[in-house]
């Protein structure tokens, strides 16, 4: 995968240097070089790119304001001689902020950070595309279609499991809980006890180390599963 790059700098020598660095980096590809934000805007209106190298101190519109003006900006690495914009740069989710004069070693480190970002998001996208929306299970000599979005939790009963659904009666099938766990997307379902898997999207209330469904079902969080479940909570916990 080549990362398509656009570089913006009003200084011709600086622009030439960034262009040279991009050409010398195997996973990067130069698709446009612009000497102003206006040139870049015109290019972006008709073309898709992955990554922009943006100088901040430019006439008319500086690089920071240019990036803020974009509705769906590509990923950004700021290149500038001024360190005072660093915090603001990361507030607009820039991948990196590198100070001039820029050596190729510094450039490559920043570009590699961008490469890691794209690889991670590509992998996440593939995972989401591969995620099934339903499963078929055998229950009472019939094949029953289960929508993953309808599952609230799954309960083990020895060799059997009961799949509890939001709008339908539970479905019982002959399968071990571990085997069921391996079939479910891990970003949506989590085992929280040796006998229970929960749909994380359905978790609304946690009371004294128990997950509460409809104020009448209390699922305990097992000791060996607490750390993973707490990590899930910490992602969205507001103090």
Here the tokens at position 174 are 């002959």
CB 64 within 8 A of CB 88: yes
Write down the domain spans for the chain. 3-130, 134-236
Say if residue 128's pLDDT is above 50. Answer: no
CB 162 within 8 A of CB 171: yes
Distance in angstroms (rounded) separating the CA atoms of residues 239 and 233: 12
Indicate the fold that domain 3-130 takes in CATH: Rossmann fold (3.40.50)
Please state the φ and ψ torsions of residue 173, each to the nearest 5 degrees. -145, 155
For 192-217, the pLDDT digits (tens) are: 999 999 999 999 899 888 999 887 89
What is the predicted pLDDT for the residue at 152? 95
The pLDDT-based confidence of 189 (bands split at 50, 70, 90) is very high
Task: Let me know if domain 134-236 sits in CATH 2.40.110.10.
Answer: no
For 73-108, the pLDDT digits (tens) are: 899 999 988 766 656 655 677 888 899 999 999 999
The structure's pTM equals 0.53
> The tokens 């995620």 sit on which residue?
131
Please state the φ and ψ torsions of residue 217, each to the nearest 5 degrees. -110, 120
CB 173 within 8 A of CB 138: yes
Q: Which residue has the higher pLDDT, 229 or 121?
A: 229
Distance in angstroms (rounded) separating the CA atoms of residues 123 and 198: 24
């Amino acid at each position: 995968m080549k990362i398509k790059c656009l570089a913006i700098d009003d200084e011709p020598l600086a622009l030439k240097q960034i262009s040279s660095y991009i050409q010398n980096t195997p996973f990067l590809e130069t698709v446009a070089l612009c000497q102003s934000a206006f040139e870049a805007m015109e290019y972006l209106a008709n073309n898709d790119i992955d990554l922009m190298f943006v100088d901040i101190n430019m006439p008319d519109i500086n690089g920071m304001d240019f990036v803020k003006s974009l509705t769906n900006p590509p990923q950004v690495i700021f290149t500038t001689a001024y360190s005072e914009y660093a915090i603001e740069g990361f507030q607009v989710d820039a991948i990196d902020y590198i100070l001039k004069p820029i050596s190729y070693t510094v450039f490559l480190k920043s570009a590699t950070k961008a490469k890691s970002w794209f690889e991670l998001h590509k992998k996440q996208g593939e995972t989401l595309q591969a995620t099934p929306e339903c499963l078929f299970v055998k229950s009472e000599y019939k094949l029953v279609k289960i929508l993953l979005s309808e599952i609230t939790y799954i309960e083990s009963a020895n060799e059997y499991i009961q799949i509890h659904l939001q709008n339908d009666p539970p479905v019982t099938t002959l399968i071990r809980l571990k085997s069921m766990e391996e079939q479910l997307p891990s970003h949506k379902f989590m085992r929280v006890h040796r006998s229970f898997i929960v749909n994380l999207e359905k978790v609304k209330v946690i009371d004294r180390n128990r997950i509460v469904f409809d104020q009448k079902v209390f699922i305990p969080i097992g000791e060996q599963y607490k750390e993973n479940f707490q990590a899930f909570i910490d992602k969205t916990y507001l103090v």
